Amino acid sequence: MQKKQNTTSIIWFRNNLRISDNVSLFKAIHHHEKVIAVYFFDPKYFEKDVFGFKKTEKFRAQFLIETITDLKENLANLNITLLTYFSSPDEVLPKICADFSVQSIYTQKEWTRDEVDTCIAIKKKLPTVQLIEDFDQFLYHPNAVSTNFSNIPDVFTEFRKGVEKKVKIDAQIPISKLSESNLIENFTKIPSLQELGFKTFVTHRNTAFPFKGGETEGLKRLEYYLFESKKASIYKNTRNGLVGIDYSTKFSPWLANGSISPKMIYWKLKSYEKEFGANDSTYWIVFELIWRDYFKFISLKYGSKIFKIGGILDRDYHWNFNKKGITDWIEGRTKDDFVNANMIELKETGWMSNRGRQNVASYFAKELLLDWRIGAAYFESMLLDYDVHSNYGNWLYVSGVGNDPRDRKFNTQLQAQNYDGNHKFRNIWLEKTLF
């Protein structure tokens, strides 16, 4: 593909914080002579929401700082400068575009409320600059799945069987290096945790996610989980675990901010299967990636309804707002010790197992009958691997206003017996002294 001459583009990184398999980066490099990269620590994601929670708490903030530090180094190896700002994109992009005569901005396409508002503001201020958005967070590309998202099935199994049968997974996108002349002087810096409004903290000794942010660390984990430990071959047997770093893949925090792509995992897994064989466990990793895709397609189908109290089903349930009940749930002071242990783990580490998440969400919505959106907002604040589509999709599902036609309720005591019968997990987090 021939490059255009004497043109400068911006790649605006959002939740695609990697240099590998990045369509926006690919297009910027191949269509323009010069490329400048930018990332914004947008202040609105560090403010309090309507329920009083910071949209991003310290765990994900630290992981993000580590991710951007790694991205900056990786881009430098491609001779691309990453400018970083603790400002909103629409405030800074007009000046960058003017200073460098930018014709085009490339970015990952987002479609939820806050992200769309940002794009609208940018387009108003830069009417002559092209804003080119590409879906780049899916295993199955949306354009290959449906030309009309209203046709996406409301039952996961129907969706899964359809894509597995009819849709091919694209190859990874190769990224080339630019010449050193592309580098520019960089007067910006990555904000510290304190500058983002947090105190420094020490990672809890019992965390199930002791890893750092960034593509480099994500790829290390991928290599370890597949080829070094071969844990991929027993994933289905261990995925409901609660203790330790290897009961699940732990890929989700890197997936959530786009440090690794689902395609990168898929094709690496295919190489693993060729060498060591495919089984139910290796398939189940792909199965979980399809679930992740599905919640994104449901978000595309229903838009802002995923944030409404009645959910995508418009259910008119009665929900309570009990401040003490909410606080007790957050602090791990409910009548249920399994719920408490999971909530304390989240509070202390920013991590919780999938099994734990289903149980504490069900307890919040079905036992305490509290407004599920408050629980979802707390998860948004605290989780290292927060992803808007998976988070709200799962909360809708568990609360009976989403994609579960059975509207089931978890028996948390039976779940504790089945998954923590020896009290190992509860004993870790219900100790009187955590440190």
What domains can you pick out in the chain, each with its CATH number? Answer: 8-136 (3.40.50.620), 215-302 (1.25.40.80), 308-429 (1.10.579.10)
Q: 109-167, pLDDT tens digit by residue?
A: 999 999 999 999 999 999 999 999 999 999 999 999 999 999 999 999 999 999 999 99
The CB density around residue 4, as the number of other CB atoms within 10 Å, is 12
CA atoms of 69 and 84, how far apart (whole Å): 10
Q: 186-196, pLDDT tens digit by residue?
A: 999 999 999 99
Q: What percent of the chain has pLDDT over 70?
A: 97
What per-residue confidence (pLDDT) applies to 157?
A: 95
Pairing verdict, β 102-108 and 8-13: parallel
Give the sign of the dihedral formed by CA 390, CA 396, CA 402, CA 408. Answer: positive
- HEC string for 195-237: CCCCCCCCCCCCCCCCCCCCHHHHHHHHHHHHHHCCHHHHHHH
- Residue 37's φ and ψ, nearest 5 degrees, are -105, 145
Q: 369-392, pLDDT tens digit by residue?
A: 999 999 999 999 999 999 999 999
> Would you call 315 helix, strand, or coil by DSSP?
coil
Q: 313-369, pLDDT tens digit by residue?
A: 999 889 989 999 999 999 999 999 999 999 999 999 999 999 999 999 999 999 999
Mean pLDDT, rounded, for 240-253: 97
Nearest alpha-carbon partner for 364 in 372, 354, 352: 372
Q: How much helix, strand and coil, in percent to the nearest 5, is found in the chain?
A: 50, 10, 40
If one compares 408 and 103, the residue with the highest pLDDT of the two is 103
> Would you call 370 helix, strand, or coil by DSSP?
strand
What per-residue confidence (pLDDT) applies to 220?
A: 98
CA atoms of 252 and 385, how far apart (whole Å): 6
Amino acid at 245: I
Which value, to the nearest 10 degrees, does the dihedral of the CA atoms of residues 365, 368, 370, 375 take? Answer: -60
> Would you call 182 helix, strand, or coil by DSSP?
helix
- DSSP letter at 12? E
Instruction: Name the residue with tokens 């139910």.
Output: 280
Amino acid at 256: A
Mean pLDDT, rounded, for 408-413: 93
CA atoms of 179 and 177, how far apart (whole Å): 7
Q: 323-333, pLDDT tens digit by residue?
A: 999 999 999 99
Amino acid at 149: F
Mean pLDDT, rounded, for 257-285: 98
Nearest alpha-carbon partner for 339 in 393, 396, 416: 416
Query: H or E segment at 304?
Result: none
Mean pLDDT, rounded, for 3-16: 85
